[in-house]
Amino acid sequence: MSSAWGEKIKVSIFGESHGAAIGAVLDGLPAGEELDFEAVALQMSRRAPGKDPAATPRRESDLPKIVSGVLNGRTTGAPLCALIENTNTKSGDYENLQRVPRPGHADYPAFLRYGGFNDMRGGGHFSGRLTAPLVFAGAVCRQILQRRGIAIGSHVLFVADCRDTPFSPTDIPEDLLQRLASVPFPVIDREAEQKMRNTIEKARMAQDSVGGVVECALTGVPAGIGGPLFGGIEPVFSSILFGIPAVKGVEFGAGFGAAELYGSQNNDAYYFDGGTVKARTNNAGGILGGITTGMPIVFRAAFKPTPSIAREQDSVDLKTKENAKLRVHGRHDPCIVSRAAPVVEAAAAIALINLMTL
């Protein structure tokens, strides 16, 4: 089971949704970096369950306990290990999934891959619960990047057919990113939030769920970071983004929309701005040839609807080898997109720090 990512700074995620604890190990962090644990707690609270009507009612404090790698508030250079206790589990809600897998979830392929020995409770190691230690790791990396002038923020671009105002591809104020990165349901147009919430509540009342898209931006990233082919910004970012449960698509800049344009429309024309090369547009999303251009990095991650829904679904009984009906019990998000925003930001921070020379 591959639960480690990164080369310069390696992140290892461990634990299961209903185990004693989950956590992360960060190896390769520079020594002497001061950590603001209030800022870490803010990011953890944005993702934490049970704090918003649009999320699962499972309540977890998600306060990380630092086991190693920090002394007097600064990194020591040793592996930084953090534990997050699971305190509010109801494992009995998942007993029927041992033999009747959830459509749209990893239950069936995981049963095949691990011979039925994997922990099914709450989704086990495949659960979105495992994004909590990822957010912790990203919150640490984000602080290191902030000291180097890099800002990261995201917003819910849309839920179903409810859309927020997209980022300006070329001009993204740092204070906007800071505002978005400090709230649990980040949107640029505050009126869009209530429309999205109404759609999520409608899905919940119908015993269903709904998906959406998170748009993320990074500013202050110097030009010239990355490389061609497999070590570029897009493949490195994508490899960790696709590790987030429920992500089914990633696009940079104009993304799939660029396929509908002519070269004269898609090319970002250069100009000098006080001796700095800039682009008048940013269809490239701040990346060309896998290398940063100095423009904002802008990308989007698409999240599928939560597969665990209360509505009756068709499945199979793996023991009797007959068709079966399934009703999923337990506490689940009718939409994970708002809680996924800090996870996307965390993944972006971890990806970028692995590409930079600190």
Annotated binding site: 47, 125-127, 289, 304-308, 331
Axis-axis angle for helices 337-355, 131-146 (nearest 10): 50
Angle CA(163)–CA(166)–CA(169) in degrees, nearest 5?
A: 165
Binding residue numbers for NADP(+): 47
Helix (H, G, I), strand (E, B) or coil at 303: strand
Cβ neighbours, 10 Å, residue 241:
21
| Residue 77, CA distances (Å) to 30, 46, 74, 210, 331 in order | 6, 28, 9, 42, 39
Give yes or no for a contact between 132 and 28, defined as CB atoms under 8 angstroms apart: no
Binding residue numbers for FMN: 125-127, 289, 304-308, 331
Say if residue 272 is exposed, middle or buried (CB neighbours under 10 Å; 0-12, 13-18, 19+). Answer: exposed
Instruction: Please give the DSSP secondary-structure letter assigned to residue 15.
Output: E
- Backbone phi, psi, residue 159, to 5°: -125, 120
Tokens of 2: 């591959």
- Backbone phi, psi, residue 199, to 5°: -65, -40
